[in-house]
Structure 1
Amino acid sequence: MHLNVQSIKNKIDEIDMFLSSNPCHVFCVNEHWLSPAEIALYTPEGFELVSSYCRTKSSHGGVAIFIKRNSNIEYVAQKVDHFCKEQLFEIAALLLPKLKLVIISIYRTPSSDIHQFIDQMETLNKDLLVKYRHHKIAYIGDINIDIRLKTPTVTHFQNMLRSNNLYCMNNKPTRLDACLDNIISNLTKDECQYGVINPVLSDHDSLWLMINCENYPTQQPEHIKRIRLLYPDNITKLRQKLSEVEWDRVYNCNSNGNAFNLFMNILTSLVQNCCPQIIKKMKTDGAPNRKKKHNWFTPELHDLRNTLIALHKMAKTGNLESKQRYKEARKNYRTEIQMAKQRANDAFIENSSNKCKAAWQNADYQTKMEEQDENNSIVEVGDEESIIISDVYAVEVNIGTYNEMKEDDDWNLSTDDDDDDIRRDVLFGMIQLLFVILSDPLSPQSPTHTCFRPDLTAYSNDSL
């Protein structure tokens, strides 16, 4: 999706609504009017900045490419700053390796020298043909060249494109009656679809490009996570099996390494047998059971937007009264967006059982912080209400017996090894682990909360 936004600062809410109505994976922006220090501060909701160019000597202009967050698309930002010339040839580039596609957001100021622009673009094309000779290339942006005009300059421009196996796709007007925004590519008509949308955000229409590729993920793929289910019966069975083990075999080993390996093999085998793992499929767009952000895009806003589109078309006729009505409607539209967001946030906080937490969740969402819910370490799965224990699992247990054993002089670990103290510490660590496992975290007499600190033995679900 491409849009000449003509200042993104005061239109970020409207852009969010436009992208929610016209979802895309890659969003290219011309004329963001931001400085290098500001560009990262104005990112559409659900997107992240990948590549950009900002002017340093003059105001306005600039280009940027945003990509949908968690869209499972591999991308590589391309360094093309050395090709950029302020006001003349402003670009940002992105490579999609799996699609073998290079996307370039491009902008040319109307008053700049068109012949210098053509020369600079040809220089870039030659470089791209060397680096990506087996890739597809798609320029998309406002070049301020109406390709429908039969002039020597336009003919020269199109001849340069043909010599590089490129052509202009769009021939529909994007600003009043002029076709100034275009898609320049070597994609064939069978490989893509494209069109023009009126976003009612600036005096330019938006361009969209859809790649017809079987490798392109139409749905977010699932990945697999292995989790260990701990039922009360399984815990009881594990405790029983551990109590039946003849641990003398571990103690009588001739070295610390052999003792530790035997201990871990016995423990791992019993845990796998008594508390088996299951496979849970999860979406890649975040944590499981993640709470969804409340929606502020109301039917009333949808109706206002349709009205604004109709008024925008009327204003294009040049009628002063229509233009004034459009300006007033747009001002009202922006105000209603802010109020809708505020009402949605207020309702979200008011209906939450923990209002303070809900307020912080709103703040975190605005800064795109992806944090798991407070109780994400223990969740229910299926109808059996199985308990999922996170990779960092610990319970508060009474290890007084272990401490007494460590201080008992009768607890003799004398061997022929020279490292009796080391072996003593290793075996005490094993014994402490057994006390943690043998304590029943599900019984009413013992604590049931997790303290979210690594246990001393670092014995997690992954190691099991």
Structure 2
Amino acid sequence: TISVLHQNVRGLTNKIERLNHFLRTLQPTIIILTEHGLSPETLLLTKVNGYKLITDFCREQHKLGGVAIYIDETADVCVEMLDIKNHSIELLCEAAMVKIGTKQCSFHLLGLYRPPGGNTKQAIEVMSAILSTFRADARQIIVMGDVNFNRLTANQDNDLFEEELSTFGIKRLPLPATRTTSTSATSIDCICTNV
């Protein structure tokens, strides 16, 4: 069984021990971290206990942001990094992607981070270009991340996002509130799949 965990860490530097403790309990096969906020060099030096960094996107011009995908070092799966760095655009749509293979199945896994306030249409176009490049309509795929489109209220941004996913046969799963405060509850993280 393969399990995948997405976590928006909002800066990994001061949270690595908390993340390592969390992972000892959950023990997912694959981890997608969004908004890690590290440079490529620092990300390589940051140890997530029991996990190996497979691929990432790190911002070069701005702080924070980014996506990193890790795999359990003991996992009995074949994992291949898919190079999509030329698709990612800082502050618009940031992504990392892998192909996972087991004896039973294979699928593509796309980790996404779309910062709030960016141009929705352009961000969706970036995601769509990635999905088109890897023929998502003809493969099993899972898209996970923090897209900042609230699924709990009717809004044009989420409608556009879900409509574009549907052109690849992908559906956004109905998650409960993923961000709650004393005054609001939103579901801005996503798990989307055609599996």
TM over 0.5: yes
Q: Please tell me the residue identity of whatever aligns with 1:89.
A: C
Deviation by residue 1:305-352 (Cα, 9 ceiling, x = unmatched):
xxxxxxxxxxxxxxxxxxxxxxxxxxxxxxxxxxxxxxxxxxxxxxxx
Preserved contact between residue 143 and residue 182 of structure 1 (Cα < 8 Å) = yes
SS in structure 2 at match of 1:37:
helix
- Aligned equivalent of 2:128: 122
Q: Please tell me the residue identity of whatever aligns with 1:97.
A: G
Preserved contact between residue 67 and residue 112 of structure 2 (Cα < 8 Å) = yes
Deviation at 1:8, TM superposition (A): 1.1
Structure 1 runs (4+) deviating above 3 angstroms are: none
- Aligned equivalent of 2:170: 166
Equivalent pairs counted in the alignment come to: 185
Deviation at 1:133, TM superposition (A): 5.2
TM-score normalised by L of structure 1: 0.39
Q: Separation in 1 of the partners of 2:122 and 2:12?
A: 28
Is 2:182 aligned against 1:180?
Answer: no
- Aligned equivalent of 1:5: 9
Q: Separation in 1 of the partners of 2:138 and 2:132?
A: 13
Q: Please tell me the residue identity of whatever aligns with 1:169.
A: L
Deviation at 1:21, TM superposition (A): 0.8
SS in structure 2 at match of 1:83:
coil
Q: Please tell me the residue identity of whatever aligns with 2:106.
A: K
Q: 2:114 aligns with which of 87, 102, 108?
A: 108
Preserved contact between residue 7 and residue 33 of structure 1 (Cα < 8 Å) = yes
Deviation at 1:27, TM superposition (A): 0.6
- Aligned equivalent of 2:34: 30
Preserved contact between residue 48 and residue 66 of structure 1 (Cα < 8 Å) = yes
* Cα 1:18–1:100 shift into 2, 3 Å: same
SS in structure 1 at match of 2:187:
coil
- Aligned equivalent of 2:95: 91
Preserved contact between residue 162 and residue 171 of structure 2 (Cα < 8 Å) = yes
SS in structure 1 at match of 2:116:
coil
Deviation by residue 1:360-382 (Cα, 9 ceiling, x = unmatched):
xxxxxxxxxxxxxxxxxxxxxxx
Is 2:80 aligned against 1:76?
Answer: yes
Q: Separation in 2 of the partners of 1:16 and 1:153?
A: 34
Q: Separation in 1 of the partners of 2:129 and 2:20?
A: 36
Preserved contact between residue 149 and residue 158 of structure 2 (Cα < 8 Å) = yes
Preserved contact between residue 11 and residue 38 of structure 2 (Cα < 8 Å) = yes
Deviation at 1:134, TM superposition (A): 4.2
Q: Separation in 2 of the partners of 1:144 and 1:14?
A: 24
- Aligned equivalent of 1:207: none
Larger RCO (CA under 8 A, 6+ residues apart): 2
* Cα 1:47–1:134 shift into 2, 3 Å: same
Preserved contact between residue 138 and residue 186 of structure 1 (Cα < 8 Å) = yes
Structure 1 or 2: larger strand share?
2
Map 1:291-302 onto structure 2 (within 5 A).
Answer: none
Deviation by residue 1:119-141 (Cα, 9 ceiling, x = unmatched):
11122222221xx6542111110
SS in structure 2 at match of 1:12:
helix
Deviation by residue 1:103-133 (Cα, 9 ceiling, x = unmatched):
111101101111111111122222221xx65
Q: Separation in 2 of the partners of 1:75 and 1:152?
A: 36
Q: 2:153 aligns with which of 143, 149, 156?
A: 149
Map 1:4-403 onto structure 2 (within 5 A).
Answer: 4-98=8-102, 99-129=105-135, 134-176=138-180, 177-187=185-195
Q: Please tell me the residue identity of whatever aligns with 1:8.
A: L
Deviation at 1:10, TM superposition (A): 1.1
Preserved contact between residue 34 and residue 60 of structure 1 (Cα < 8 Å) = yes
Which residues of structure 1 form unaligned runs of 5+? 188-464
Which residues of structure 2 form unaligned runs of 5+? none
Preserved contact between residue 107 and residue 143 of structure 1 (Cα < 8 Å) = yes
Structure 1 or 2: larger helix share?
1
Preserved contact between residue 43 and residue 49 of structure 1 (Cα < 8 Å) = no
Q: Separation in 2 of the partners of 1:64 and 1:28?
A: 6
Q: Please tell me the residue identity of whatever aligns with 1:78.
A: L
Which structure: larger Rg?
A: 1
